[in-house]
Chain A
Amino acid sequence: MKPVIYSLLGLLLVASLSCRKTYEALVPYDFTNLPGSGQFGTAVRAVTNGVYTVSNGASEFGDQVALKWTYLHNGADTSYYLSVFTGKDAAYFNLEGTSQTDSLVLGGYWRKLVNDQIGLAQLTLRVKHQGKLQLYKGQLAPGDTMVIDGLYGDKNSKLSHPITLTYNRPLNSRPFSIMAHRSGGRTSDLLPASENSVEIIKLASRLGATGIEVDVRYTKDGVPILYHDNTLNLRLIQKNGLMGPVEDYTYQQLSTFVRLINGEKIPTLEEALETVVNNTALNFVWLDTKYIGPMDKVQAIQQKYRQKALQAGRDLRIIIGLPSTEAVDSYKALANKENTPILCELDTALTRSLGARIWAPRWTLGPQTAEVQAMKAAGLTVFVWTLDEPEFIREFIGQNQFDGILSNYSPVVAFYHYTEQP
């Protein structure tokens, strides 16, 4: 009898351990994405940008935060969003102006990228005038201090915890590239959009990025697409029965059958660049070469969208990244290398010999002070990748050597950059 009992207990144990816990961070706020800035006009947005001291809410978000407005174009319309970058747990806020008329109120959500914490947030713009707190109506007199306060909630509760932000100083204005990995961030970080999708590109600025790195592969019929891994797998796509190398499928097959984790299509490189040029304020696109083979189609697309950006009056750099000797060989095999800006991730000698204008070593190689200074003295830009550790991000920004950081946690890079005091 005992073995039967043991077996049943074992089966119960198996059943209980096999229950799958799903991790998700569903955005609890529906953005209206209203065109125009409403009451949050240029002047209001300008005085709101800045570094703020956190009083209520410091235990959750740290003692200072950086507030920055970004925008998204949609045809002739423009929508504005306020991001709050914090120094704790890679937390950020995404907010938009609400339609309340009696006061300037922001609604949205906050999220911590190191876990699945998420919640609503509602903040009101106030001003401390002669020691008294009053609603901000669009005018700041000398000596007034901007105070943004309100409530935030967590997954299980409505707005319940107070938060108060008091203006401290302007954002650090030193030029610096904050580049978001995988077009904005990783799917595994439970962002509202999947990595390497058009939707995450539109979100990238709100996550603190000034530029993005996209992963380029070819389909079987030679269409450059955005996809990071070398196989279709459940880390990146919804279950549909298709597996194996992404290069085994035609674009039509992928377009019909494959949806990324949050339901988006795998975009073509052209769709991605079209979005960058037409919808975003991003100023840098790093085309990471994930494929092995001819580079001519990617080069042609790069040139086409550099032209489009120029025509649109955009200051946009589109660079082909060379992460391996195979990619270098593909670049060398191009018939014409004119108008083909590249970024080299390999050693400095190769970078110079290729005529690359950007050198991008991996961060685990350390600060490489001598090499970085030599390259910068030669007029090159130096980025470092893929740096996600907050302490190292703070240290690298503080050392003021690199011109930019590629990270999965662009809100963290944004926080340390904007709060840095020159």
Chain B
Amino acid sequence: MIYRRLQTTSWVVLLLLLSLAVQAQRPSSARRQRRLQAIEADTLTDTRRGPYTVVVTAGGGLSYYSTHLGVPAAIEQTRLSRFGTPSSLRVMWYPDHRLRVGLETGWTTMYSYRGQVAGENTHVYVSAVPILVVFSMPLGWLTGTDRSIARRMAITAGTGLYVNHSRLDYLGTVMTNTNSLGWMAAASYTYPIGRRFRIAGELKWFDAVAVENAAFTAELQLVWRAFSW
């Protein structure tokens, strides 16, 4: 039930993004008037599309495991850590309209705990590798200038697979992986530092639904406009 609900949420976010994109493509009446005037003034009607750009984003930062977790009652002297150092890699296609699409992967610690059971040390470590299809759009499009905050801010949402990794150290080591569907949502601010490079700060929510693992991350990212055509 929960799983279905979160899947629905992902789709609602996706539809919201799509509707915003469509909205953005539809000029207001004043804007439409100005555009018509510009087209009339232009003796050439340019039907070419573009430019298109492939943008690679890599980043890292800090994560905080932000949902419930359970530490077995049998463990004594428990030390629990909800923090981790995530990293992410995203490849996006920036078309000549507002909605961008791409793939994201990376790695993030979910949580870990240590303790003792009858004098024996124990350690459990849980992490996840997301493999997501992501959609992104800037808050501002065809409005303001390049310096407008709205044009530098973007929201991103995605859905796909999380490969959840678990490691247990107690009377031996057990390492297992479990796949889970899930989603993510993020908001970012990008600052240009060169013709092809930008830096960005991104706040992100990862949610691996079936295993009920969710983390909030804050990342510093390097954005590389790899090539355009």
Q: Which of A6, A17, A234, A245 contacts B9 (CB 8 A)?
A: A17
Q: Which of B23, B68, B125 contacts A239 (CB 8 A)?
A: B68
Instruction: Closest A residue to B138 by CB, please name it.
Output: A3
Name the B residues within 8 Å of A253 (CB-CB): 168, 170-172, 174
A221 to chain B, nearest CB (A): 10
A25 to chain B, nearest CB (A): 15
Considering the complex of A and B, which 3 residue pairs feature the smallest CB-CB distances, nearest first?
A: A244-B176, A243-B178, A239-B70
Residue B41 lies at the interface, judged by CB distance under 8 Å to chain A: no
Q: Which of A23, A239, A244 contacts B212 (CB 8 A)?
A: A239
- B160-183 interface (Cβ within 8 A of A): 164, 166, 168, 170-172, 174, 176-178
Interface-side segment among A7-15, A281-289, A380-388: A7-15
Q: How many inter-chain residue pairs (CB < 8 Å) link A and B?
A: 110
Name the A residues within 8 Å of B16 (CB-CB): 6, 10, 13
Q: Is the CB of A248 within 8 A of B170?
A: no
Residue A21 lies at the interface, judged by CB distance under 8 Å to chain B: yes
Q: Is the CB of A241 within 8 A of B1?
A: no
Given known contacts A23-B1, A233-B178, what 16 new A-B pairs fall within 8 Å (CB)? Answer: A3-B141, A4-B139, A6-B16, A7-B139, A7-B155, A10-B13, A14-B12, A17-B6, A238-B70, A241-B112, A241-B126, A243-B126, A244-B177, A253-B170, A253-B174, A256-B75
Residue B89 lies at the interface, judged by CB distance under 8 Å to chain A: no
Name the B residues within 8 Å of A259 (CB-CB): 72-73
Name the B residues within 8 Å of A21 (CB-CB): 1-2, 5
Residue A242 lies at the interface, judged by CB distance under 8 Å to chain B: yes
Residue B185 lies at the interface, judged by CB distance under 8 Å to chain A: yes
Q: Is the CB of B139 within 8 A of A256?
A: no
The interface bits of chain A over 1-41 (1 if a CB of B lies within 8 angstroms of the residue's CB, else 0) are 01110110011011001101101000000000000000000
Instruction: Closest B residue to A231 by CB, please name it.
Output: B178
Q: Is the CB of A20 within 8 A of B2?
A: yes
The interface bits of chain A over 224-245 (1 if a CB of B lies within 8 angstroms of the residue's CB, else 0) are 0000000101100011111111
Residue B74 lies at the interface, judged by CB distance under 8 Å to chain A: yes
Q: Contacts A4-B150, A10-B13; is A248 near B70 (CB within 8 Å)?
A: no
- B201-225 interface (Cβ within 8 A of A): 207, 210-212
The answer for the CA separation of A314 and B141 in the assembled complex, in Å, is: 79
The answer for the CA separation of A7 and B125 in the assembled complex, in Å, is: 35
Residue B54 lies at the interface, judged by CB distance under 8 Å to chain A: no
Q: Contacts A243-B166, A244-B178; is A3 near B70 (CB within 8 Å)?
A: no
Residue B140 lies at the interface, judged by CB distance under 8 Å to chain A: yes
The interface bits of chain B over 178-208 (1 if a CB of A lies within 8 angstroms of the residue's CB, else 0) are 1000000100000000000000000000010
- Interface-centre pick from A234, A252, A257 (highest chain B CB count, 10 A): A257
Name A's B-contacting residues (CB within 8 A): 2-4, 6-7, 10-11, 13-14, 17-18, 20-21, 23, 231, 233-234, 238-245, 248-250, 252-253, 256-259
B175 to chain A, nearest CB (A): 8
Name the A residues within 8 Å of B145 (CB-CB): none
The answer for the CA separation of A258 and B117 in the assembled complex, in Å, is: 13
The answer for the CA separation of A14 and B186 in the assembled complex, in Å, is: 12
Name B's A-contacting residues (CB within 8 A): 1-2, 5-6, 8-9, 12-13, 16, 20, 23-24, 68-75, 111-113, 117, 122, 124-126, 139-141, 150, 155, 164, 166, 168, 170-172, 174, 176-178, 185, 207, 210-212
The answer for the CA separation of A258 and B166 in the assembled complex, in Å, is: 14
Name the A residues within 8 Å of B176 (CB-CB): 242-245, 248
21 contacts between A and B (CB under 8 A): A2-B23, A3-B24, A3-B150, A7-B20, A7-B155, A14-B9, A17-B5, A18-B9, A21-B1, A23-B1, A233-B211, A234-B210, A240-B70, A241-B69, A241-B125, A241-B126, A244-B166, A244-B178, A245-B176, A253-B170, A253-B174
For the complex, would chain B's binding face be called helix, strand, loop or mixed by DSSP majority? mixed
Q: Contacts A248-B174, A253-B172; is A18 near B6 (CB within 8 Å)?
A: yes
Q: Is the CB of B72 within 8 A of A240?
A: yes
The answer for the CA separation of A257 and B172 in the assembled complex, in Å, is: 13
Instruction: Closest A residue to B125 by CB, please name it.
Output: A241
The answer for the CA separation of A264 and B188 in the assembled complex, in Å, is: 45
A335 to chain B, nearest CB (A): 31
The answer for the CA separation of A6 and B150 in the assembled complex, in Å, is: 13
Q: Is the CB of B140 within 8 A of A3?
A: yes
The answer for the CA separation of A250 and B120 in the assembled complex, in Å, is: 15
Instruction: Closest B residue to A258 by CB, please name it.
Output: B72
A262 to chain B, nearest CB (A): 13
The answer for the CA separation of A258 and B164 in the assembled complex, in Å, is: 18
B193 to chain A, nearest CB (A): 25
Instruction: Closest B residue to A15 by CB, please name it.
Output: B9
The answer for the CA separation of A227 and B140 in the assembled complex, in Å, is: 54
The answer for the CA separation of A166 and B68 in the assembled complex, in Å, is: 49
Name the A residues within 8 Å of B211 (CB-CB): 233-234, 243
Name the A residues within 8 Å of B2 (CB-CB): 20-21
Name the A residues within 8 Å of B13 (CB-CB): 10, 14
B136 to chain A, nearest CB (A): 12
Q: Is the CB of A241 within 8 A of B166?
A: yes
Q: Which of B124, B139, B185 contacts A240 (CB 8 A)?
A: B124
Q: Is the CB of B71 within 8 A of A234?
A: no
Name the A residues within 8 Å of B141 (CB-CB): 3
Name the A residues within 8 Å of B125 (CB-CB): 241
Instruction: Closest B residue to A245 by CB, please name it.
Output: B176
